[in-house]
Structure 1
Amino acid sequence: MPIAADGARRAGGAGAAAAPTLAATGLSKRFGGVVALRRADLALYPGEVHALLGANGAGKSTLVKLLAGIEQPDDGTIEVGGAAMRFASPHVALAAGIATVHQELSLFPSLSVAENILIGQEPLRGGHWIDAAAMRERARVLLAMLGATDIDPDATVGDLPLAQAQLVEIAKALSTDPRVLILDEPTSALSIAEVEHLITVIERLRDRGTAIVLISHRLGEIERLADRVSILRSGEKVGEFPPGDFSRDRALALMLGEAWQERQTARPAEAFAGRADDTILHVSGLTLAPHFADIGFDLRRGEVLGLAGLEGQGQKEFLFALFGLFRRGLEGVIEIGGRRLLPRRPRDAIAAGIALIPDDRKTLGGFLGLSIAENIAITVLGSLRRRLLISRRAEADLVDDHIRRLGIKCASRAVPLGSLSGGNQQKVVVAKWLARREPVYVFCDPTRGVDAGARGELFGVIRELAAQGTAVLFYSTDISEFSLLCNRVLVFREGRVAGSLEGASITEQNILDLSFHEAAHEAA
């Protein structure tokens, strides 16, 4: 049962308190001459999921940082349980009962899972020595709450895949039994099954009276979980949806400052004629044990071919193998433009004409400490060389052209990549490879953690590439994206192609049917 329109606690939860757990009033924050947040109000009630929606740069991250004690407001107040608070540090916010799960993980890769989850809260034996057995058991209980029973508390975090590391980060937040839990894109790296279990955990915490802030760009999750939704744009709160009144169209119009454009969800243009001689990438019997086996297809110029299925069925490993990220064990046939290739390193794939836009832009996609210009130009330095030196004028022209083309929001080309929002960082990673004009582009979950506006712009880039005759391989953990972009989809299950879909048959239901059941369609 949703909360009442005046913000009172939902009747179905524990207790019936109408007072907010946390109330933020008139929060403002400036960074130099840029106003990141302007007079924002937010009230969080016990047993409520309050969603924050907004495009990149809308102020969501700034608001979260103020609530988490990472930054301090220039103006405004924060009250917890009716008492005014000043969060001088994340430690102070955590002590007040506010735990935050950031989209970018804050784990120590060299420590174990249990050490990360209970860092600073280690159980002691005899008052002096860390009780390793008790710590492992506590970590195991917290992971079990998330359905992550397959994660070993003794495993080194740096060895975990991104999805499991995300669950460790959430378990770490739950270890403090918070009054307020802030979740920033918690499902962006999770499989469908893991998302379902996390939703169950969120609902359970809500029923226990925890106030939850949810940031997600997956509107289906917002519709399913949120009791109230606040919309931010350009640093201001521009609207709030009371319970039962959420509308995707109105939310997107508020987020973007204009009506949602039909072209952003239009189906892609059909691929080029599709003749056999248009094939640019041929794959046959490609196998990498234990990740995938006997994968085969032809990819034609101007075609967007999706690799769908549940998380962990071999799609990502296949794309990474195609880009040469596995040095050993790859077998089968790959031909690009009629030339054979079995890449053992990324240099081999790049030389053959393959560009990869990875899902983890922080570690695989870009160099956070380098400028936007250096990140975009790094793949084409040879073409920018004039005699022995790089032409800074040629570099600037190239970079500025791509900044305009992709609508990258930045103060200048000289600012570090790490200073940009997630969506703009992703655009820079895309621009880096667009500069090379390769015949085959591989997009591996490119919209993970990206807002609706930037997502539409990235879709536009993919459609533009296809219209120019470029061949595109596309993978996403959001199965709704396949019907918006792809001419054809191969559905992976247990490392093999369970079936293929084309045109109007590319639907979420058909993808899920092939993901869970025996193939009903002949694989391509």
Structure 2
Amino acid sequence: MAPAVHLDGITKRFPGVVANDDVTLRVEQGSVHALLGENGAGKTTLMNVLYGLYQPTEGRVVLNGEERDFDSPRDAIDAGVGMIHQHFMLVDPMTVAENITLGNEPRKWGGLAVDRERARQEVVELSERFGFDVDPDARIEDVSVGVQQRVEILKALYRGADILILDEPTAVLTPQEVEELFTVFDELTAQGKTIIFISHKLSEAMHAADEITVLRDGENVGTVTADETTREELAELMVGREVLLEVEKRPSTVGDPTLGVDGVVAEDERGVRAVDDVSFEVRAGEVFGVAGVDGNGQSELVEAITGLRDPASGRITFDGTDITERSRRERIDRGMAYVPEDRQERGLVMDFDLVGNGMLGSQHREPFASGGRLDWATARGHAESVIDEYDVRPPAPDATAESLSGGNQQKFIVGREFERNPKLVVAAHPTRGVDVGSIEFIHERLLDLRDEGVAVLLISSKLEEVQGLSDRLAVMHDGQFMATVDPEAVTEEEIGLLMGGEYPDGWDGSRATASETSADAGVRADGDGTGGGDR
């Protein structure tokens, strides 16, 4: 049987850049194939060629033994290729059924009107056929991220897709939703569908895929069978060197409280209470972690702490000084660094170059300004230093932020904030969308800052990351802290239940007070919590 996908010698050039260099990829019918690689390795570009968003400079696209030329995604869709992008393309006020059939609605009255009942019934039948649990009448704005992803998959299936491409499909999912997605993979391949998913997470590729292809610097450096490889082998293929997948966390030396949060209440944009009477301290020389499913108040809490949202009540102190009503700029000047969860909205000015972005938040003071004038030479030197230290690609200080991949944007923000010489680092999902080699470096740098006496507030949806790096760990649900625990004394399953608003069986609160110091612990560099092994 011919492979479902055969990309033969694909080269894709952009001005000054070879994104894919003579890449050949074979994906067997009815299989799950993972495409691994660092940020900027060419994974998404290659799949955009398959989906018709880009036309190859050289090479052939062959589907089921037939060579195809795609001038647009419409051509690829007609040929049975569907793509689910990392950022979903759904209309929030519309229902699940309306989103799935949008643009392809069944008609009635001679084509004059949309047949909504028939559309709904077709969605119900499609969901039942593939074992998807979705409510066709639910509005997208009211369903979880995991359900939204299923809606995107159903959209592609509704249009006749036999080959599904998923770009970083687990980036915003909880561990439970990740496992549910992998179950969906099994259901789809059992009915003859072929799945290619882009990832930089080693464990999820080993867990979910039949075969894994690794790209590095735009080239295919190897295809391996998932159950015959190791995380170490994959990491070395991705990075081109041996990667330390576990970081040794040394015992912490805890100092005085740097950040104090006392009875803080914060509302979201709708005026609904998102943070409900939260109190805690982060001390010098410790990592205080906050775990929780996205949308349970973590974002509003972080914005209140960093000066981006006014709390409705409560008090925030920094080094003993009340900063509840102080400006964002003053918090930066006092030594607060912030890695935001939304890098494009909060972390960068997308049409600025990296020189300008490198001094954001500090452009009004030395060393970047003196006597009311900007020192552009110093700003350029700083940007070059961050680019080099944090391996930002391409290494071009004049490049605009929007020209970088998401992972390289993240590395630049992390470098800028970590190098502020901070007293407090507020890091919200600092390794989201970042490859394994960079995750290793960011984890090491966070622990270096902690060991230098910096207070670190870490918010992450990656359980292995937040559990492995934290000295104390708070679990947040529905705007409140369920418990603050010793991360070494609880399991991922127990944390997962707390994240869902439930206390584990037999929970007596004995682990609800975390230890003052941490013992040695290992941190998995890919931090995705899916585990290894067979599908």
Q: 1:493 to 1:28 in 2, by over 3 A?
A: same
Is residue 335–residue 424 contact of structure 2 (8 Å, CA) maintained in 1? yes
Deviations 1:44-78 (A, max 9, x none): 22220001111122221121111111111122111
Is residue 324–residue 348 contact of structure 1 (8 Å, CA) maintained in 2? no
Quote the residue 2:260 is aligned against: 282
Is residue 203–residue 231 contact of structure 2 (8 Å, CA) maintained in 1? no
Quote the residue 1:522 is aligned against: 512
Q: 1:411 to 1:285 in 2, by over 3 A?
A: closer
* TM, length-normalised to structure 1: 0.85
Q: Secondary structure at the match of 2:481?
A: strand
Root-mean-square deviation (CA), in Å? 3.0
Is residue 323–residue 343 contact of structure 1 (8 Å, CA) maintained in 2? no
Code of the residue aligned with 2:512 in structure 1: it is: E
Report the Cα distance in structure 2 between the residues aligned to 1:193 and 1:343, rounded to whole angstroms: 39
Q: Secondary structure at the match of 2:356?
A: helix
Q: 1:498 to 1:385 in 2, by over 3 A?
A: same
Give unmatched runs, 5+ long, in structure 2.
Answer: 267-271, 515-535
Report the Cα distance in structure 2 between the residues aligned to 1:112 and 1:325, rounded to whole angstroms: 32
Q: Sequence identity, in percent?
A: 33
Matched, 1:368 2:350: yes
Is residue 289–residue 467 contact of structure 2 (8 Å, CA) maintained in 1? no
Quote the residue 1:422 is aligned against: 406
Is residue 355–residue 442 contact of structure 1 (8 Å, CA) maintained in 2? yes
Q: Secondary structure at the match of 1:378?
A: coil
Code of the residue aligned with 1:339 in structure 2: it is: T
Q: Give matches, 1:96-245, under 5 Å.
A: 96-107=79-90, 116-126=99-109, 127-132=111-116, 134-135=118-119, 147-149=133-135, 152-153=138-139, 166=149, 168-242=151-225, 244-245=227-228
Report the Cα distance in structure 2 between the residues aligned to 1:141 and 1:318, rounded to whole angstroms: 42
Report the Cα distance in structure 1 between the residues aligned to 2:422 and 2:428, rounded to whole angstroms: 16
Give unmatched runs, 5+ long, in structure 1.
Answer: 1-17
Greater shift, 337-346 or 378-387, is seen at: 337-346
After TM superposition, give the deviation of residue 163 of structure 1 in Å. 6.3
Greater shift, 237-246 or 248-257, is seen at: 237-246
Q: Secondary structure at the match of 2:482?
A: strand
Report the Cα distance in structure 2 between the residues aligned to 1:366 and 1:228, rounded to whole angstroms: 37
Code of the residue aligned with 2:207 in structure 1: it is: R
Matched, 1:442 2:426: yes
Report the Cα distance in structure 2 between the residues aligned to 1:359 and 1:287, rounded to whole angstroms: 20
Quote the residue 1:12 is aligned against: none
Report the Cα distance in structure 1 between the residues aligned to 2:126 and 2:174, rounded to whole angstroms: 19
After TM superposition, give the deviation of residue 94 of structure 1 in Å. 1.3
Quote the residue 1:35 is aligned against: 18
Code of the residue aligned with 2:260 in structure 1: it is: H
Q: 1:424 to 1:476 in 2, by over 3 A?
A: same
Quote the residue 1:342 is aligned against: 324
After TM superposition, give the deviation of residue 479 of structure 1 in Å. 0.7
Quote the residue 2:232 is aligned against: 249
249, 252, 255: which is aligned to 1:271?
Answer: 252
Q: Which has the higher contact order (CA 8 A, sep 6+)?
A: 2
* TM, length-normalised to structure 2: 0.84
80, 92, 97: which is aligned to 2:63?
Answer: 80
Q: 1:312 to 1:185 in 2, by over 3 A?
A: same
Q: 1:168 to 1:361 in 2, by over 3 A?
A: farther
Is residue 53–residue 60 contact of structure 1 (8 Å, CA) maintained in 2? yes
Is residue 292–residue 460 contact of structure 2 (8 Å, CA) maintained in 1? no
Q: Secondary structure at the match of 2:23?
A: strand
Q: 1:233 to 1:362 in 2, by over 3 A?
A: same
Quote the residue 2:391 is aligned against: 407
